[in-house]
Amino acid sequence: MQLLDRGLIVDATTAPTDARFCTFTSLLCLSDGRLVAGFRTGSAKDSGDDDIRLLVSEDEGRTWARTCNGIGEYHPGSGGRMRAVGLAEIEPGRLIAAFNWIDRSDPALPLANPETQGILPTKLFVAESSDTGRTWTPFRTVDLHPHRGNALTGDLLALHNGTLALPYEAWKEYHDSSPGEHHAALRFSDDGGQSWHGPAIVAHDDENRRLFWDQRLTVLPQDGRLLALFWTHDRHAGQDLPIHMAWGSPDGRTWSAPRSTGIAGQIAAPLGLPDGRLFMAYVHRHDPPSLRALLSEDGGASWQDELIFYAKRLGSESGMTGSRDFADYWADMNIWTFGHPAAVLLPNGDVMVAHYAGDASAMSIHWVRIRIK
């Protein structure tokens, strides 16, 4: 792999105060070659003024124009804010998006309860746009019952049978003092996002020891199978495990048991390539902290050709040097200053990865372009 170029989708260092921290990256390549990037903004990495922005590039990332300036409070007076967005193209030029709503009616409350580790009330909405996000159809709620404490975990997927799949994870609510059960799951729509059914469980540990966080998925172009990668944590040991992977059937309903890739990392974005190889962009927080890419030529049995495309100072990130209290991970997430890679295949076969990076004063959205040899 060769790093060809890099640039900024948005420079947060010059943004207004309420948009100085940009995270939770989404990236989509449209059928006409245009790129759409979505991300969360706020005055801090965890703040009560969450919102989302969308930008479009018509020149493969060299320049970007804002198309969605944010949703604002939804519904007005409710204190609800949009924290993340996941995108898909349902027909040429027509987008569908999933929006992760969070109750910020008390803006002083952090996302995760420091006593219980439950999260603030959330909802998932979907809507469509025919003008790359400038305007949206009315938002529709996706019923995720019986799951609670839900969060969007990546872009919507267009399956080979025409079904849409919405990836999310379920945890527990803010005041729930139980140990909590984590599920990585999918909901499905056979009518272009008008209605949703499911769930299918992508990953869950019945012993509630291993937590398969932040699933990221890809549809293999050859046969429609799904590949999921997970930031995996051992709650009993208080440490991250290597990135895990699982294979799903083309309809997304049945999944293999997650297995270790052997790669030390957190959020990992997979991408199935036309020649059958697999691409992975992932977060490495051990020394040296960085964002990296890998290739697999054998269906994920092994990974090689590592490319570092973003590097921070030397020294492991907070929480990476030993056993860690589970509650401390939520605090660490507000300290970490880079992550959330999202990868797409460009028309000429190159791969573009978008991610956030910065420091304690501002976090911007970056892109890199990688040539796969």
pLDDT mean over 62-86: 96
CB 243 within 8 A of CB 265: yes
| Cα 281 to Cα 148: distance, rounded to the nearest angstrom | 29
Average pLDDT over residues 357-371: 96
In this structure, what token pair is assigned to residue 197? Answer: 């059914």
Please indicate, yes or no, whether the overall pTM of this predicted structure exceeds 0.85.
Answer: yes
Q: What is the DSSP secondary structure assignment for residue 219, as one 8-state letter?
A: E
Statement: residue 335 has pLDDT above 90: no
Whole-number pLDDT of residue 312: 85
Residue 181: pLDDT band by 50, 70, 90 thresholds?
Answer: very high
Q: Which domain holds residue 358?
A: 2-371
DSSP string, 330-369: HHHHTT--EEEEEEEE-TTS-EEEEEEEE-SS-EEEEEEE
| pLDDT tens-place string over residues 201-234 | 999 999 999 999 999 999 999 999 999 999 999 9
The answer to whether 85 and 52 have CB atoms below 8 angstroms apart is yes
| Alpha carbon distance, N-terminus to C-terminus of the chain | 6
User: Taking every pair of C-alpha atoms in the chain, what is the biggest distance, in angstroms?
Assistant: 53
pLDDT attached to residue 30 = 97
The per-residue pLDDT for 329 is: 74
Candidates 311, 301, 305; CA nearest to 293 is 305
Split into its structural domains, the chain has a count of: 1
Domain with residue 177: its CATH number is: 2.120.10.10
Detail the DSSP E strand segments found in 71-141: 80-91, 94-103, 122-129, 140-141
Residue 185 near residue 199 (C-beta atoms within 8 A): yes
Which stretch of DSSP H or E encloses residue 185?
Answer: strand 183-189
Q: Which tokens hold the place of 333?
A: 């997430």
The tokens for 27 are 């990236």
The gap from C-alpha 173 to its chain's centroid, in whole angstroms, comes to 20
Task: List C-alpha distances in Å: 84 to 69, 223, 294.
Answer: 14, 30, 26
Q: Long-range pairs for 344-350 at CB < 8 Å and ≥24 separation?
A: 344/27, 344/28, 344/29, 344/35, 344/271, 345/29, 345/271, 345/273, 345/274, 346/29, 346/33, 346/60, 347/29, 347/33, 349/274, 350/4
Task: Give the pLDDT of residue 317.
Answer: 66
Q: Tens digit of pLDDT for each residue in 239-293?
A: 999 999 999 999 999 999 999 999 999 999 999 999 999 999 999 998 889 999 9
* Single-letter amino acid, residue 234: D
**CA 120 – CA 139 distance, rounded (Å):** 20
- Cα 25 to Cα 113, 224, 286, 289, 363: the distances in Å are 24, 24, 21, 19, 12
What is d(CA 147, CA 149) in angstroms, rounded to the nearest whole number? 7
Q: Which residue has the higher pLDDT, 127 or 324?
A: 127
Residues 172/178, Cβ–Cβ less than 8 Å: yes
